[in-house]
Amino acid sequence: MTGKILLTYATMSGSTAEVADAIARKIQESGAEVTVRPMTDVTDFSGYDAVILGGPMVVGWHRGAMKFVARHAAALSKVPVACFITSIELTNTGEDAIGGVPLTIDPNLGGPPKNPGKLSFKEKQTCLDAYVSPILKKASGVKPVSIGLFGGKLDYSVLNPLAWLFVRFIIRGKAGDYRNWDAINAWAASVGDQLLSGA
């Protein structure tokens, strides 16, 4: 497989950067060139055949990632794009695609709603549609070939006091490293091919 991919990510505490590196390493095994950069360092996509965008859920997809896709929507609509999301919670409402975009879901992340016919307030905030649709809406005209949803990492010791309070008392997140490297690598192995099949 030949071609150049830009993998650009947003992060709050750094764990999504490690996911980005793992995805890049996996894709590179099949011969493609992958450049990994934080979104804050990226101004354009010239020289790349495809783009991967990644970021954590931080009450919605990372604010920097949302701004990035809105700012670059026109350019991103002209190249093959894939996205990934890291989070510690997910209400898996069972969709395998949203807005025509196929989803790959880490089997260890979250679980089904208690009562599929009537989601609780928290389940509505953490369901697939609540995570994915706002991104597709922001990235107007961009149709990712795939969106991967993976467990992230929650480490209270690296959070600023405000984030600590929010996660501890509002999200009530349990500290831990929930990254499922098998699921991440499996997605990476297939998404590289999907992105570069026309390159």
Ligand X SMILES: Cc1cc2nc3c(=O)[nH]c(=O)nc-3n(C[C@H](O)[C@H](O)[C@H](O)COP(=O)(O)O)c2cc1C
Q: Which of residues 158-197 bind ligand X (CB under 6 A)?
A: 159, 163, 166-167, 171, 173
Shortest distance, position 187 Cβ to ligand X, whole Å: 16
Q: How far apart (Å, rounded) are the C-alpha atoms in residues 8 and 29?
A: 19
Token pair belonging to 27: 């894709």
Q: How far apart (Å, rounded) are the C-alpha atoms in residues 76 and 162?
A: 33
Distance from the Cα of residue 109 to its chain's centroid: 13
Shortest distance, position 61 Cβ to ligand X, whole Å: 9
Q: How far apart (Å, rounded) are the C-alpha atoms in residues 149 and 47?
A: 27
Residue position matching structure tokens 């990492």:
153
Which residue, 99 or 173, is less far from ligand X as judged by CB? 173
Binding mask 123-152 for ligand X (x = CB under 6 A): ---x-------------------------x
Shortest distance, position 184 Cβ to ligand X, whole Å: 12
Q: How far apart (Å, rounded) are the C-alpha atoms in residues 49 and 149?
A: 23
- The site that binds ligand X (CB under 6 A) totals a number of residues, namely 24
User: Which ranges constitute the DSSP H helices of 6-141?
Assistant: 15-28, 63-71, 73-76, 121-125, 128-138
Q: Which of residues 40-59 bind ligand X (CB under 6 A)?
A: 56-59
Binding mask 3-42 for ligand X (x = CB under 6 A): --------xxxxxx--------------------------
Judged by the rule CB under 6 A, the positions of this chain that interact with ligand X are: 11-16, 56-59, 86-89, 126, 152-154, 159, 163, 166-167, 171, 173
